[in-house]
C-alpha cells in the first residue's frame, strides 16, 4: 500500500475513534504537545496510561474481591483511573469511571463489580484501537511518510 493510502486510512481511523466516542478533545491537546523535540510524546503518554491502568485494574479486582471491601480505597483507585483516562482523552473509560464512583459512594458492591467489568471492557477496547493506530503510524513512517496533522474541528 502506498503512503498516501496509508495516511488516508490513518486519518479515517483516527476520525472514527472520535466519532465512536473513544477519544475526545483532550487527545487533540495531547497531539499538539508533540513536536520535533518530543516526537514520540503521544505514544509515551498513552503507553504510560496503559501501564498505569492495567495495574489499577488489577488492584481494583483485588480490592473488590476482599471479604470486607474498602470502598474508600476502591474509590481512590477509580479516581486515579478517571484522572489518567481523562487526561489522555479516553472518553469512554472516563465515563465508565464516573458511574463506578457513584456506586462506590453508595457502597454498592454489585454495582461496583458490574462497573469494573465495564471499565475493563472499555479499557481493552480503547487499547486495541490505540494499538492499531500506532501500528498504522509506524507503517507510514517506515515507508518514509509522515503523520498528517489532525484538522481541528469540533466534535
Partner 1 sequence: MHLRAVLIKQMEATRQAESKSMSKSNAFAQASHDVRASLAGIIGLIDISYEEVSPGSELEKNLKQMESCAKDLLGFLNRILDTSKVEAGKMLLEEEEFDLAQLLQDVVDLYHPVAMRKGVDVVLDPTDGTVLRYSLVKGDRGKLKQILSNLLSNAVKFTDGGHISVRAWVKKPSLEDSILASPRSSGWERLMCLVCEKKDEDSGDEVANEFQRSPNSAEFVFEVDDTGKGIPKEKRKSVFENYIQVKETAQGQEGTGLGLGIVQSLVRLMGGDITIRDKDMGERGTCFRFNVFLAPCDAGATKLLEEDLEAGGYGAACRLGLTTRSPKSEGSHVVLLIQNEERRRTCRSYLEKLGIEVLVASQWQDLPMILKKVQMKVVNVAYHSSSGKSEMSWRIERLSKSASCKKAPGRVRGVPLRSLDGADQSLPVYRSPSPKDQAAFVLLIIDASAGPFQQIFMAVTEFRKLIPSARCKVVWLDKPTMRSIDLRAIKGKLDPDDIIMSKPFHGTRLLRVIRLLPEFGGSLQKRPSEQVKARPVQNAEAAKPLAEETGNTSREKPLSGKRVLVVDDSEIMRKLALRNLSNLGATVQLCENGKEAVQLIRDGIDELRERGVSDICRPYEYILMDCQMPAMDGFEATRKIRKEERRYGIHTPIIALTAHSSGAEVKKIFEAGMDFHVEKPANGVRLMKAISEIQSRGGGV
Residues that bind partner 1 (CB under 8 A): 3-4, 7-8, 26, 29-30, 32-33, 35-39, 41, 44-45, 48-49, 52, 76, 79-80, 82-84, 86-88, 141, 143-149, 151, 153
Of 75 and 122, nearer to partner 1 (C-beta) is 75
CB of 122 to partner 1, least distance (A): 17
CB of 118 to partner 1, least distance (A): 19
Query: Would you give the distance in Å from CA 152 to the centre of its chain?
Result: 20
CB of 107 to partner 1, least distance (A): 19
Of 76 and 125, nearer to partner 1 (C-beta) is 76
CB of 90 to partner 1, least distance (A): 11
Of 50 and 113, nearer to partner 1 (C-beta) is 50
Instruction: Give the dihedral of Cα atoms 52, 47, 44, 152; nearest 10 deg.
Output: -110
Of 85 and 129, nearer to partner 1 (C-beta) is 85
Cα-based angle 68, 122, 27 (whole degrees, multiple of 5): 120
Q: What is the DSSP letter of 23?
A: B
Q: What's the rounded Cα separation, in Å, for the pair 47 and 65?
A: 27
Q: What's the rounded Cα separation, in Å, for the pair 132 and 126?
A: 10
R_g of the chain, CA atoms, integer Å: 17
Amino acid at each position: 500500500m502506498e503512503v498516501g493510502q496509508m495516511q488516508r486510512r490513518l486519518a479515517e481511523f483516527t476520525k472514527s475513534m472520535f466519532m465512536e466516542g473513544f477519544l475526545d478533545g483532550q487527545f487533540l491537546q495531547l497531539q499538539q504537545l508533540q513536536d520535533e523535540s518530543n516526537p514520540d510524546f503521544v505514544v509515551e503518554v498513552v503507553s504510560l496510561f496503559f501501564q498505569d491502568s492495567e495495574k489499577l485494574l488489577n488492584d481494583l479486582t483485588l480490592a473488590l474481591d476482599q471479604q470486607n471491601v474498602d470502598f474508600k480505597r476502591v474509590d481512590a483507585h477509580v479516581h486515579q483511573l478517571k484522572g489518567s483516562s481523562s487526561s489522555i482523552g479516553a472518553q469512554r473509560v472516563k465515563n465508565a469511571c464516573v458511574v463506578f464512583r457513584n456506586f462506590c459512594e453508595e457502597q454498592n458492591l454489585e454495582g461496583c463489580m458490574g462497573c469494573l467489568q465495564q471499565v475493563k471492557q472499555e479499557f481493552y477496547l480503547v487499547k486495541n484501537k490505540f494499538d492499531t493506530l500506532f501500528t498504522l503510524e509506524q507503517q507510514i513512517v517506515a515507508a518514509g511518510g509522515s503523520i498528517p496533522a489532525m484538522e481541528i474541528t469540533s466534535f
